[in-house]
């Protein structure tokens, strides 16, 4: 086991503050925030590749096409993990990046599994991820989820060592609660805890709200996965189509038989609000997250889905009044 004290150079070389690169075909995609004082610039909208290797081979073919379309539309943030398809997701992204390197360069995020949180395992996991991605470093390296059997005070110094070596541009966590976030921050000496990636959307927020407030206080960017609730907040499943089992499995009980009727009724009201405002329903969901200070991370399995979501994000934003009304509807206010 690599001892926690073996942390590479005593000081990470200072770098000039990152500046936002010009991106794609939409001004909205060139916004974002720097991670820490000198960290990489984090884009405002990202494509998550969690489903690669979970579903049918045809889905993977469509995902490859979706990645290519994301390049064309100017998306830079691509999120993967060593557990997605047992490395297949990282390999697919690496192949796409090698075949047609996007310009400007991508912002690549990967994660170490909750099964690999001992210091020597963390280092080995990153080495494997970099090999599959075909890269010397990644922009952001996350702990995918905590493991109660491994103290986070043992894991975070291992990530910090990789940060000092320049193999990762910033470090963060995913699916961490308040106590775990505080422990992760306290375990770091020099590197900032830059990101917490959590499930977060208009309907799925009870656990996220206190975490959002903590992250605001401590300068931690909140990345929001499932921002569209597996497509429901973009209009899917609102007119009778039933969500397939693989979707229902990952929606935190919001689409189970007991909860579904109420969720659908509120979602249809939000769709009506969006239609009255002349904006896509997805724009309401995505810009609501932006208003909360979160960066949405969406999934797509076709170029058409990429186009629809990028258009919703980069088009005229919903007004604050529309977002406030959608917020009240999602919370169950019958008078909104």
Tokens representing 38 are: 């000198």
Element (H, E) at 72: helix 57-72
CA distance 125 to 131: 10
Tokens representing 175 are: 């699916």
Catalytic annotation present for 237: no
The phi and psi torsions of 42 (rounded to 5 degrees) equal: -90, 120
CA distance 47 to 45: 7
User: Which alpha helices (H) appear in 134-278, and where do they start and end?
Assistant: 152-164, 178-186, 208-218, 245-248, 260-277
Contact 228, 285 (CB under 8 A): yes
CA distance 319 to 223: 22
Burial category of 21 from C-beta neighbours within 10 Å (exposed 0-12, middle 13-18, buried 19 and up): middle
- DSSP 8-state symbol, 205: -
CA distance 318 to 102: 30
Q: Is the dihedral of CA 64, 70, 76, 79 positive or negative?
A: negative
Other beta carbons within 10 Å of 275: 12
Catalytic pick among 84, 200, 225, 237: 84
Active site residues: 84
């Amino acid at each position: 086991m690599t001892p926690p004290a073996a942390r590479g150079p005593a000081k990470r070389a200072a770098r000039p503050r990152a500046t936002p690169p010009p991106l794609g075909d939409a001004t909205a995609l060139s916004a974002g925030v720097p991670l820490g004082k000198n960290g990489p610039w984090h884009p405002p909208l990202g494509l998550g590749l969690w489903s690669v290797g979970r579903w049918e081979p045809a889905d993977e073919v469509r995902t490859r096409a979706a990645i290519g379309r994301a390049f064309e539309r100017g998306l830079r943030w691509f999120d993967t993990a060593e557990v997605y398809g047992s490395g297949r997701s990282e390999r697919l992204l690496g192949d796409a990046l090698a075949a047609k390197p996007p310009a400007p360069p991508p912002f690549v995020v990967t994660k170490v599994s909750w099964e690999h949180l001992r210091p020597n395992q963390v280092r080995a996991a990153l080495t494997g991820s970099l090999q599959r991605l075909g890269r010397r470093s990644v922009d952001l390296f996350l702990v995918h989820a905590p493991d109660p059997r491994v103290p986070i005070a043992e894991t975070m110094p291992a990530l910090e060592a990789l940060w000092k070596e320049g193999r990762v541009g910033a470090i963060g966590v995913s699916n961490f609660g308040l106590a775990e976030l505080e422990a992760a921050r306290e375990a770091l000496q020099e590197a900032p805890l830059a990101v917490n990636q959590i499930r977060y959307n208009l309907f799925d927020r009870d656990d996220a709200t206190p975490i959002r407030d903590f992250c605001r206080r401590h300068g931690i960017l909140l990345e929001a996965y499932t921002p569209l609730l597996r497509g429901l907040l973009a209009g899917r499943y609102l007119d009778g189509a039933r969500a397939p089992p693989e979707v229902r499995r990952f929606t935190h009980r919001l689409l189970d038989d007991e909860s579904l009727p109420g969720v659908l009724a509120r979602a249809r009201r939000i769709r009506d609000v969006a239609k009255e405002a002349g904006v896509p329903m997805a724009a309401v969901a995505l810009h609501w997250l932006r208003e909360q200070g979160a960066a949405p991370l969406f999934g797509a399995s076709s170029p058409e889905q990429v186009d629809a979501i990028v258009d919703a994000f980069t088009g005229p934003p919903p007004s604050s009044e529309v977002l406030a009304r959608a917020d009240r509807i999602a919370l169950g206010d019958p008078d909104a």
